[in-house]
Amino acid sequence: MFSNVPNNFLNCMENQSLQNWNISKSGLRFLIIILLVIGVFFRFANLDKKVYWGDEAFSSLRISGYLQSEMNKQLSDGRVFTIEDLHKYQYPNAEKDAGDTIKGIAVEDSQILPLYILITRFWLEWFGDSIAVARSFSVFISLFTFPLLYLLCLELFESSLVGWMAIALIAVSPIHLVYAQEVRAYSLWIVTILMSSVALLRAIRLKTKVSWGIYAITLSLGFYTHLFFTLVAFGQGIYLIAIERFRLSKTSIYYLISSLAGVMSFVPWIWIIITNPQPESVSWANAKQTFFASAMRWAGLYSRPFLDLGISPDAPGIVKIALIPFILIILTLTIYSIYFLCRRTPKKVWLFVLTLIGSVGIPLLIADFIFQKRYATSRYTLSSVLGIELAIAYLLTTKIASINTKAWQNKLWSLVTFMLIMSGIVSCILNSQAQMWWNKLPEKYEDFPKIANIVSQGNKPLLISSTDNIMSSVQVLSYLLDPKVQYQIVGKNQLPKIANGFTDIFLFLVEPSDFLKAGVEKVYNSKLQQINKVLWKVTKST
């Protein structure tokens, strides 16, 4: 049976708990501030060092306001152009406005919701065009995670100690660092999840029209941030219905009105998704996976919030095996923290955390293991990660703070807390110094820095590629190349015009094209010298 321990029992023990930690309240706050500073430092460190990979390049195309079809048509006419011409389709410019940005998303990427893209466009217009500036908006938004997380812990646990612990864990959490440095909507999604959670709990407590109106606004923001927010909102609905015991109470009525307002604000975009579906954008999820591969993937998903050494899903098996003991420890801690939460808190507390974990996690679990899909990725399970981090923060705080905890147990759980924080710091250090990380699709892009170095060494280099390679490859490589490199893109089944005045000519093809390779040899009366699997150098025939 679950015990109904009062929510505020931790508050009643704060003085005793701080004595158990042998630290004053101001000292504890100082330690948390140090961890916050460390976390903020890692979020801003080396923002432009990592490869600007395909998903980020697609985000930048949407920010620019150009359609991909426009870009392909304008760049694939065989003319020679510069990196400035190429980046015209990556940053805001006078030719396209915010309306064109919305149009581009609606027509070609309807599943990518517009709120993050629009705000990032304005951010770049204000602060300038660069990788660091583009990524800095995600960093800036991620900083709101900390006050919102603290407010959520106050609403949920009625304990500032749990809030401090949660902030400490998330400040140095490697998974939060990963998505705080990407030009994608995931950091904003985390913020909207926390915002709507705080707003819902406050509305339930205050029972005022204003508080429910604020909740409706947070729903609208979440709906326009990420499609999977709909699952989070659905989970919040299950939570409220369960808390109200399926009664049509005043709280239930206010919730229904607020939810209806939030959903109605999203109806226009729902219509856009229906009329402009983009099934090919998630075709990668249809790749079949074995039960073991799915299990390994899920184990990695829920260990990365605390330990992340940059090991990609395609890493050698021996590397993954070496990590199994650490992953098992983290998974055991996660399972125990959820069990402990359910045993020690009232229904309105543990049920909220469970719905936060399960609202997205359960549908993805079903898709992966029953339908053999591959939707389970770290970026899609962030709401579940938040719930797990809340459960672990509650467990650690209670075990360390409780006056009933034996001395050896207090030391043990203090050591566990220290190890979790240190594993996070070590993971963040490794991440901050790396040029490539697992979320950047290393199996595709890890050779790009080497390729860029080879091409850039030429005196007057020309890079030839095809239309199929522009978005996911040429744009990505362009961020690594010297500005002196020039480009020539040709359409499908077309040959390049002879371009004179170049000392080094390269053919770059991530998407293979025997027709283009043979054509380049013919046009330049040369042979192709293969440098690696995607790059060839045009050499004069002897």
Running along the chain, 542 residues long, what does each successive block of 10 average in pLDDT?
43 49 64 93 94 94 94 89 93 94 93 95 95 96 97 95 94 96 97 98 96 98 96 97 92 96 96 84 68 78 90 71 87 96 96 96 88 82 96 94 75 92 96 92 91 94 89 92 94 84 91 85 88 90 62
Cα 481 to Cα 448: distance, rounded to the nearest angstrom: 10
Domain boundaries along the sequence of the chain:
9-49+140-437, 54-129+447-540
pTM of the predicted protein model: 0.92
Check if the beta carbon of residue 57 is closer than 8 Å to that of residue 471: yes
Element (H, E) at 234: helix 229-243
Buried b / exposed e over 98-129, threshold 16 CB at 10 Å, is bebbbebbbebbbebbbbbbbbbbebbeeeeb
What is the rounded distance in angstroms from the CA atom of residue 220 to the CA atom of residue 197? Answer: 13
pLDDT of 312 reads 74
**How far is Cα 82 from Cα 499, in angstroms, rounded to an integer?**
14
Place of tokens 């993954």: 320
Quick one: pLDDT at residue 278? 76
In degrees, to the nearest 5, what angle opens at C-alpha 207 toward C-alphas 206 and 210? 85
Residue whose C-alpha is closest to residue 4's, from 246, 331, 344, 268: 344
Instruction: State the pLDDT at residue 504.
Output: 92
Per-residue confidence (pLDDT) for residue 13, from 0 to 100: 47
Distance CA 34, CA 38 (A): 6
What is the model's pLDDT at position 134? 96
- Give CA–CA dist 172/178, Å, rounded: 11
Those residues with Cβ within 8 angstroms of residue 16's Cβ, 6 or more apart along the chain or in another chain:
401, 403
Give the model's pLDDT for residue 280. Answer: 66
Strand partners for 397: none
Q: According to the model, what pLDDT value does residue 338 have?
A: 97
Q: Is 134 helix (H, G, I), strand (E, B) or coil?
A: helix
Alpha carbon 27 to chain centroid distance?
33
Query: Tokens 């672990």 label which residue?
Result: 392
Give the separation between CA 32 and CA 401, rounded to whole angstroms. 16
382: its two tokens = 């962030």
